[in-house]
Homo-oligomer: A and B are copies of this chain.
Amino acid sequence: MPVLLAPDQAPTLHELLAEANTVGLDCKPVDTRNESVPRIQGLGSLTSAGSTEISFLSNPKLRNQLDGCAAAAVIMTDADYQSLEARDHSYCIVLCSQPYLMYALLAQWFDQRRVSRLETGIHPTAIIAPTAHVADGVSIGPYCVIEEGVRIGQGSRLGAHCVIGTNVVLGNDCLLHARVTLYHNVTVGDRAILHSGSVFGADGFGFAPDPHNAAGAWAKIAQIGGVILGNDVEIGANTTVDRGALENTVVGNGVKLDNQIMIGHNVKIGDHTAMAACVGVAGSTIIGQRCTIAGAAMLSGHLVLGDDVHVSGGTAVTSNISTPGRYTGVYPFAEHSQWQRNAAVLSQLAQLRRRLRAVEKTHSNQ
């Protein structure tokens, strides 16, 4: 962790666990070899945590990293603890049935210390239209522009240079990092986290052929729908979610989108679906709940994916998927000259099959 709390601001282990464990996980120190567990100044991996930091073991395959671990305390499951047997260790052990979730909670706790030191309030350079309604406790950074009819819920924080278009509704406790753009008539639920450079409500890509103008010319279809983001959504840097053509583009509750993702107009994404970076979803596609779409996957338009569908990285999904499961379609890479040989045959596959059939026929006739 690049930044450690100062010693006088660091909690004791018990204080830390009590404050961070907001979801009531089972989590208790069991083996405090060292009576004086130091105050916990930070959080680190097993290999990097120092003697005033807490660490965690969430993957049994990494048990061997416990050997040289210099952390003050390590969170692990009972099974991992048993595996330690009599092995020597200097760290205190914290038993928890879900060390990875506990790690997430601890990281939130430490990050919150940093966030709480940030300035709050409305910066004097923010431009807020007279008809905008900004609730109590909202922070608005320098050079933000809040247009007419906007509503911002309590506790929300906007970084520098955000532009919030007319009639946007932003829920409570949202965090917009610097330089987020919301076009007009976008609605965002509570606790959204929107990263820098993300754009919501740009026009969907809709054009009608317009031969009256010129051969091949296109007439713009003005996009008069909106965008609705649910609660607990997080959207990565430079991701774009286009507005609907006539109705709304909808991102469900708890959806997590990584960086540089493109969501086309009229798309609907079900609750708790997560997408890794560089995914593209073309217009009007409907994605179910609890799906995962791995990095750089591409979904064609007007498709329907059911719930619990998992698409592998780089896969082009070109037809509906109704059955839960994992789906893949990526060309296996190889050393270049080997690829050349195989790829050359690939373009003759249909012919190859015909030749095989011919051979098979000869056989069956023999």
Contact = CB atoms under 8 A, between A and B. Distances in A.
Interface of A: 1-3, 23-25, 42-45, 48, 98, 100-101, 103-105, 107-108, 110-112, 114, 118, 125, 127, 141-143, 145, 159-161, 163, 165-167, 177-179, 181, 183-185, 193, 195-197, 199, 202-203, 205-210, 212-226, 232, 234, 236-238, 240, 242, 245-248, 254, 256, 258-260, 262, 264, 271-272, 274, 276-278, 280, 282, 289-290, 295-296, 298, 300-301, 311-318, 323, 325-336, 338-350, 352-353, 355-356, 359-360, 362-363
The count of identical subunits is: 3
A48 B316 contact: no
Contacts of A197: 181, 197, 199, 238, 240
Contact of A160 (B42, B145, B224, B312): B145
B334 A339 contact: no
A148 to B, nearest CB: 8
Nearest to A118: B166
B246 A44 contact: yes
Nearest to A124: B127
Nearest to A191: B220
Given A219-B101, A274-B218, A224 B43 contact: yes
Contacts of A213: 23, 254
Contact of A359 (B276, B300, B359): B359
A210 B23 contact: yes
Task: Sort A-B residue pairs by CB-CB distance and give the 9 closest, nearest first.
Answer: A329-B333, A111-B222, A216-B290, A216-B272, A202-B237, A341-B350, A107-B222, A326-B336, A314-B316
A126 to B, nearest CB: 10
13 contacts: A45-B247, A107-B224, A111-B223, A159-B163, A216-B254, A296-B316, A314-B316, A318-B332, A323-B335, A334-B347, A341-B350, A345-B353, A352-B356
A92 B205 CA distance: 29
- Quick one: which of A212, A323, A336 has the most chain B CB within 10 A? A336
A72 to B, nearest CB: 15
A335 B327 CA distance: 4
A28 B359 CA distance: 65
- Quick one: which of A143, A209, A342, A362 has the most chain B CB within 10 A? A342
